[in-house]
Structure 1
Amino acid sequence: MNKTMPQPLTITITEDAADYIKVFSEQAGKPGSNLRVGVKGGGCSGMTYTLDLVDEPFDDDKVIEEHGIELYVDRKSYIFLAGTSLEYSGGLNGKGFVFNNPNAKTTCGCGTSFSV
């Protein structure tokens, strides 16, 4: 039997999020840096997102290019983030990145941790 594997899901970055990554890297004194995202154990729901400004991807990172920036995702975290849309919110409830993650079964009230 010949099975075809489905195409792997990717992570998308909204234009607002890409623009904010550029502004944030300049404000942090690291102009031209890109964002590395991942997950680690912690938070009130079991897993929390990690964000770091870096110049280059790690050897095993998945690199996603969109809207003039590169997003680096470590391979171990990718399974938990595949299909996610990284967005930016500048609303009254606070400014920051928002992970619209279809893999999250539950999220905490502040949106920084999740469970799968």
Structure 2
Amino acid sequence: MAIQLTAAARQRMQDFLAKEPSAVGVRFGIKRTGCSGFGYTVDLADAIAENDQVFEQDGLSIVIDRKALPFVDGTEIDFQRQGINASFVFRNPNATGECGCGESFTVG
């Protein structure tokens, strides 16, 4: 499997990358947080480490630590605007539960 981006998420990430030409891509991962256990992280990737997996989509590199990959493999990342709020939205087939706000998730 892989990580998939919607057109809106890809455009948002490309906008960030255009402002940081030294970045090699976007780093997607997880951290322990929230009321459900794990939260998603999205940052610019300064480098690709030996333990990273890189997915390419339309010229955009998505960098993921291999330790996080079992938790997020197959995730679709979208970017949505609702009124004055804007955020990435994650559709993760590995998640067995999410908190009410969608900020954290659990896996089986």
* TM-score strictly above 0.5: yes
2:68 aligned residue: 77
Give the match's secondary structure for 2:68. helix
**Deviation at 1:114?**
0.3
Counterpart Cα distance in 2 of 1:99 and 1:93: 19
Q: Aligned-pair distance for 1:68? A: 2.0
Tell me the TM-score normalized by structure 2. 0.87
Runs of at least 4 residues off by over 3 Å = none
User: 1:93 offset after TM fit, Å?
Assistant: 7.0
Aligned residue number for residue 31 of structure 2: 40
Larger Rg belongs to: 1
Q: Distance in 1 between matches of 2:103 and 2:84?
A: 14
**TM-score with structure 1 length normalisation?**
0.82
Unaligned runs of 5+ in 2: none
Does 2:9 align with 1:17?
Answer: yes
1:30 aligns with 2:30: no
Which deviations, in whole Å up to 9, do the C-alpha atoms of 1:13-68 show, x marking residues without a partner? 11211110011234xx4136321011121111111112221232221111000022
Q: What secondary structure, in the 3-state scheme, does the structure 2 residue paired with 1:76 have?
A: coil
Q: Where do 5+ consecutive residues of structure 1 fail to align?
A: 1-8
Identity %: 39
Q: 1:92, CA displacement in angstroms? A: 2.5
Shift of 1:109: 2.0
- Size of the aligned set, in residue pairs, is 106
> Residue 88 of structure 2: SS of its match in structure 1?
strand
RMSD: 1.6
The corresponding residue for 2:96 is: 105
Answer with 30-39 or 44-53: which moved more: 30-39
